[in-house]
């Protein structure tokens, strides 16, 4: 059986992408075939290049027209042979062509137990601040299918993270990020085989 071909999309530091690429060498029966970044200076592209993974920069800079950008994304994913698309810190909505072409095969993580604390504007520290403001006893992370609406796709996996007395945003973020990456790696291992 052939190894699953994964495309990663990222916008920032690339720590999640780096962990996924590294895990494909040891515990995930898959290959990262391309990393697409929407910021040409993003560390996610550096991590990929250091690991010998092809990179592509696609953004409003390279394609000011949203339709052209969407089409270029489909072309880059198709050319790579991607079978599964993983958003690894990618901070943009995907276009309708990508969503249609890869329907049900695009996944993302969210730093909370969806549907709680999801939707437009709910990302990063905003999520953790909302959890703390509500006095919630637990938070967590979710892996979900990407659709045209933020955080609305079916949830594929979740893990809980306790909210501890004295937690601030930084402390909660730190624990959730560790759980979120482990959840995604575990889901990929299960989905692709080990």
Please report, for the domain that includes residue 52, its CATH number: 3.40.50.170
Q: Are residues 159 and 180 in the same domain?
A: yes
Query: How many domains, the chain?
Result: 2
Catalytic option among 47, 110, 128, 144:
110
**What's this model's pTM, rounded to 2 decimal places?**
0.94
State mean pLDDT over 52-72. 96
- Looking at residue 29, its pLDDT comes to 95
Q: Kind and range of the H or E element at 160?
A: strand 155-162
Write down the number of H helices and E strands in the chain.
6, 7
Residues 126 and 91 in one domain: no
Look at residues 77, 103, 129 and tell me which one is the last residue of a structural domain: 103
In terms of domains, do 85 and 176 share one?
A: no
Nearest-angstrom CA–CA distance, 155 and 147: 11
| Mean pLDDT of the residues in the chain | 95
110 is catalytic: yes
Q: How many CB atoms lie within 10 A of CB 190?
A: 12
Percent helix, strand and coil across the chain, each to the nearest 5 = 40, 20, 40
Domain termination site, one of 85, 103, 121: 103
């Amino acid at each position: 059986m052939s190894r699953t071909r994964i495309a990663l999309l990222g916008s920032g530091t690339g720590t999640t992408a780096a962990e996924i690429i590294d895990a494909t060498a040891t515990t995930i029966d898959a290959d990262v075939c391309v990393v697409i970044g929407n910021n040409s200076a993003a560390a996610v592209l550096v991590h990929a290049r250091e690991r010998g993974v092809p990179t592509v920069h696609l953004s409003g800079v390279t394609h000011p027209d949203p339709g052209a950008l969407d089409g270029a994304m489909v072309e880059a994913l198709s050319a790579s042979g991607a079978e599964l698309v993983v958003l690894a810190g990618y901070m943009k909505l995907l276009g309708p062509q990508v969503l249609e072409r890869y329907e049900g095969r695009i996944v993302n993580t969210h730093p909370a137990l969806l549907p709680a604390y999801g939707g437009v504007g709910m990302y990063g520290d905003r999520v953790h601040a909302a959890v703390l403001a509500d006095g919630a006893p637990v938070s967590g992370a979710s892996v979900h299918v990407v659709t045209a609406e933020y955080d609305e796709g079916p949830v594929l996996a979740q893990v809980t993270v306790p909210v501890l007395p004295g937690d601030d945003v930084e402390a909660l973020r730190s624990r959730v990020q560790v759980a979120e990456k482990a959840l995604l790696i575990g889901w990929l291992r299960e989905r692709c085989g080990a």
